[in-house]
Structure 1
Amino acid sequence: MRVLQTVDLKKYYGEEPNITRALDGVNFSVDDGEFVAVVGTSGSGKSTLLHMIGGLDTPTSGSVFVRDKDLSKMNDEQLTIFRRRNIGFIFQNYNLVPILNVYENIVLPIELDGDTADQRFMDNVVNMLGLDDKLKNMPNHLSGGQQQRVAIARALITKPAIILADEPTGNLDSKTSADVLGLIKRTSTEFHQTVVMITHNNDIARLADRIVRIEDGKIVG
């Protein structure tokens, strides 16, 4: 089953003759349970693509469908709710809330939705990510790798349609990066979780089921 599809997606900045084509007609799809790496150099359009498929930015033209829902047909409030329920994000700089402890950070997206966490699933996620003894800790008492594990748990907890990981190991040393990437791969397999990961690193990309290359705003292979 197809979870994500972009149709002739374009994002242009500026005006002619100084127009920047950050995305220039991208057609891209991801199936349920797939782990896809989008690889490109700096300025290739990969982060712009991630922002479009995550509903964080609006395309100049074209469409993004997540679970067959067209993001462009939603108003801001509908999009916010849809994103919270269907899209998990893992950012390079973790984006944890500093005044909340680990447990509170993980369940935040569910509580914002006025719901409560599936405790068995929560226990599974926390256990797999090795956070059992860290739930009461504040983010500033954690290492970078531990903070990124919390971010992964937060992304998983809503059982989203898709997780978008933007250079998820950019701030981590090589050993911690390998650990975190191994966990992302494992969560994809064990929870049948669809993942799209943005990276400039070909070695990291090889962990994925499929690699998509983007250059000058176009998919090149």
Structure 2
Amino acid sequence: MPLAVLRWSGRAPVALKVFLLTLVILDDLGATIVIALLYTAELKVVYLIYALVRLVLMFWLNMRRIHRIAPILMLGKILWVLVSKSGVHATPSDVATAFFIPMTNRWGKSPLHSLEHGLSPYVLFLIVPVFAFANAGMSPDALLQPVPMGVVAGLVVGKQLGVFGLTFLTVKLGFTRLPYGVNWVHVYGVSALAGIGFTMSLFIGGLSFSDASLMNDVRLGGLSPRPFQR
């Protein structure tokens, strides 16, 4: 969603769009790692070993630069079941499957790009809206309660402090530099846009709270209007 808003603006430098895309990927990847590490109740190692075999097979298929991705997707589905059976949340298995889809095949075409463009309409116009509305059991009267206020604070204040602050430190300490055509106003705008996303907030909230009323508060905080980011 943040990337879509930036693209619609039509004025942002290309380097800024690349920066935001990288940020979105790493942000979701970090949330996925947190889910895998902190929401595992009981670990069954044998299923993880079976899952590792599937990962090796997907790696082998990737190295062969195949042009048909159905075998990798089938292995990814089996991987999802095995990881789920192991007690680890299955979300990381989907990320791993995506990593093993070849960027280019032996004829120079990109199976990953073909899959991305093929799925985009379904993701944008079906999957994400259904996910949002399915988790939108909101009570507006609860907006000022601690849980929704905490979610909003994390998305509004936390994202801006985290993204802008970390970027500022890495640049000033000499670890990197701003891309050509990008200034600090651009970076701050991206840090504000980063808090528009809500999927991982709802996902982690659903894992954190078993009480239905608290989960409604999480949904309210994640889907509430955030005027500073509109």
| Structure of higher CA gyration radius | 2
Relative to total residues, which structure has the larger helix share, 1 or 2? 2
- What's the TM-score bracket when you normalise by the shorter of the two chains? under 0.3
Q: Between the two structures, name the one with larger relative contact order (CA 8 Å, sep ≥ 6).
A: 1
TM-score relative to the length of structure 1: 0.26
TM-score relative to the length of structure 2: 0.26
Relative to total residues, which structure has the larger strand share, 1 or 2? 1
